Chains A and B, each alone.
Chain A
Amino acid sequence: MIRLENVTKTYPASVRPALDDVTVDIEKGEFVFLVGSSGSGKSTFLRLLLKEEVPSGGRVHVAGKDLARLSHWKVPALRRTIGCVFQDFRLLPNKTVFQNVAFALEVIGKGSATIDKVVPEVLDLVGLDGKAGRMPDELSGGEQQRVAVARAFVNRPMILIADEPTGNLDPNTSVGIMKLLDRINRTGTTVVMATHDAAIVDSMRRRVVELSQGKVVRDQARGVYGYGA
């Protein structure tokens, strides 16, 4: 589903590469934690998958496509196969929960019949049924993140990318979000999640890829956050 071959990424302003000869292979339906300290290259890793960045060297394959050979106008199609969740939720404050989720479908040209059918389904899935008419600032952080997950998943992407989705949440709320991501993973969606949250990684016991200074220093099938744990 995702394959990075000897990928190097150097940003113009820096000397040290953000990613240095990284090779990772992620199968369809896997749940992968991407761990490492700040600046280790996690975000660059995720941005490469979306073709928000292009590698300085090596190849990136996503959903069977070589991104280097993906023409500019096909990038939106690639991104429709990938859902994204962020630490800061990135909801539109002037739209309701329903409108926020519907927005993701509207802007890819889906009709209102589809929207009226699919959005309630996904809100139900993330546990927000009955809150469709609320505004984001009326919701708790955990609920807002559920809206963001609903928006990322409403188009049934093959891959879900989560960049520290629990970074702004307390531990109890984080567990709820992780359960939700786990449920989404069980529908066959590949999940790649960058995180600092040791407790979560340790409790989930999923594959862990650790980055340090742009290099893969560990790739464990049922790993924990750190060596010591």
Chain B
Amino acid sequence: MRASFVLSEIGIGLRRNLTMTVAVVVTVAISLALFGAGLLIREQVGTMKDYWYDKVEVSVYLCGSGSTSSNCNGTAITPEQRTQLENDLRTTPLVQRVFYESKQDAYARFKQQFKDSPDLVQNVTPDALPESFRVKLKDPTQFEVVASAFRDRPGVDEVQDQKALLQNFFKLLNTLQLFALIVAGVQIFAAVLLISNTIRVAAFSRRRETGIMRLVGASNLYIQLPFLLEGVLAGLVGAGFASGALVALKAVLIDRLLKPNFPITAYVGWNAVLSIVPLLFLTGMLLSGLASFFTLRRHLRV
């Protein structure tokens, strides 16, 4: 195998077919960029879950004199019930930490939370807020087990999972990811067709050369390799652009825009981007390589 021969054939082929090659590169770049973005969103959801699930707690609200739920019957929890409940919570194996929030604590937190709305704060007294146990679970997904064990206990008004509030947001992100992946899939399909067509045109425009190669006994590999590498090269260049787009997405959208303006959550780090980039190159290579390979088998037989 003479590398210089194969390389010069690739060069000739790419130049002769420049417009088609550009189309392939662009399509592959767009499809892989979307694919990468979809993966990045998934990483982001994972990062946020790690970040938030570490912080979310289960709130066990206790009955106050004004509680309306049937479990309370309009009477406040007695100190004995409260002590019993706290002890039971502490001895539940799933529970990591229990923290008691009195009405005063709740009021202080409320004031802090709504310090920008003094009207609201003025209308609320500490007595109007429920006391609660803030329970940190070892595994935040085990909420239902804890909730069902304590929901009907005397003096318990309501068991609330803060995680549920995050679910909607994660659902939105997951939909976004799904959408990106579907569009990426459609684009990849188009890219495969385009690569296949490009290789077919390339094979046709060089049928003189390949015809002579066949006659003088060039092996299949020798005849097909330049075409195959042409496709793979276009795929890799496309993957390069897609990786660039992903890096820009991380650097500009996440680091420059989202991070300073929405510091409430954690964002994916560079290592997530670095783990996706090789995947894009691999996908680009396999995509174009396989598309070329099967096209060649149909159109360049010995």
A78 CB contacts on chain B under 8 angstroms: 217
* Cβ of B214 under 8 Å from chain A: yes
Which positions 176-211 of chain B face chain A at CB distance < 8 Å?
A: 208-209, 211
Cα A126 to Cα B121 with chains together (Å): 105
Bound: A77/B2 CA distance, A: 18
CB-based contact A80/B216 at 8 Å: yes
Distance of A108 Cα from B223 Cα, bound (Å): 10
Shortest distance from the beta carbon of B227 to any chain A beta carbon, whole Å:
14
Q: A90-B212, A92-B212 are in contact. Are A106 and B220 (CB under 8 A)?
A: no
Chain A residues positioned under 8 Å from B214 (CB to CB)? 79
- A50 in contact with B1 (CB, 8 Å): no
Query: CB within 8 A of A76: which of B2, B209, B211, B217?
Result: B217
How far, in Å, is B278 (CB) from chain A's closest CB?
33
User: Scoring A residues 40 to 74 as 1 if CB is less than 8 Å from chain B, else 0, what string do you get?
Assistant: 00000000001000000000000000000000110
In the bound complex, what is the Cα–Cα distance between A23 and B215 (angstroms)?
25
Per the 8 Å Cβ criterion, residues 195-249 of B in contact with A are 208-209, 211-220, 222-223
Given A76-B302, A79-B214, A90-B212, answer yes or no on A107-B220 (Cβ-Cβ < 8 Å). Answer: no
A76 engages B218 (CB within 8 Å): yes
State the CA gap A67–B216 with chains docked (Å). 17
Say whether A73 contacts B220, CB under 8 Å.
yes
Q: Is A104 an interface residue (CB 8 A)?
A: yes
Q: Please measure, in the bound complex, the distance between the C-alpha atom of A80 and the C-alpha atom of B214, giving whole angstroms.
A: 10
Q: Which residues of A79-105 have CB atoms within 8 Å of chain B's CB atoms? A: 79-84, 90, 92, 103-104
Which residues on the B side are within 8 Å of A92 (C-beta)? 208-209, 212
Check B216 against A108 for contact (C-beta < 8 Å). yes
CB contact under 8 A between A76 and B5, given known A90-B212, A104-B212: no
- Alpha-carbon distance A79/B223, docked complex (angstroms): 14
> Which residues of B sit under 8 angstroms from A103, Cβ to Cβ?
209, 212
**Assuming A72-B302, A75-B302, A76-B302, is B216 touching A107 (CB within 8 A)?**
yes
| C-alpha spacing A103/B214, complex, angstroms | 12
A80 to B217 CA separation, bound complex (whole angstroms): 5
- CB of A151 closer than 8 Å to a CB of B: yes
Q: How far does the Cβ of B226 sit from chain A's closest Cβ, in whole Å?
A: 10
Asked if A109 is at the interface of the complex by the 8 Å CB criterion, the answer is: yes
Contact A50 B302 (CB under 8 A): no
Residue A130 interfacial (CB < 8 Å):
no
CB-CB under 8 A for A79 and B208, given A109-B222, A111-B2: no
Residue in A closest to B214 when the chains form the complex, CB atoms: A79
Contact A108 B217 (CB under 8 A): yes
Complex Cα spacing A76 to B224, Å: 13
Q: How far is the CA of A84 from the CA of B214 in the complex (A)?
A: 11
| Bound CA–CA A79/B219 (angstroms) | 10
User: Which one, A72, A81, A108, contacts B222 given CB within 8 A?
Assistant: A108
**Chain A positions within 8 Å of B2 at CB level:** 106, 109, 111-112
A selection of 23 A-B contacts at a CB cut-off of 8 Å is A50-B215, A72-B302, A76-B218, A77-B217, A78-B217, A84-B215, A84-B216, A90-B212, A103-B209, A104-B216, A106-B2, A106-B5, A107-B5, A107-B212, A108-B218, A108-B219, A109-B1, A109-B2, A109-B222, A111-B2, A151-B212, A151-B216, A155-B216
10 additional A-B pairs beyond A109-B219, A109-B222, beta carbons within 8 Å, are A73-B220, A76-B217, A77-B217, A78-B217, A79-B214, A106-B2, A107-B216, A107-B223, A109-B1, A155-B217
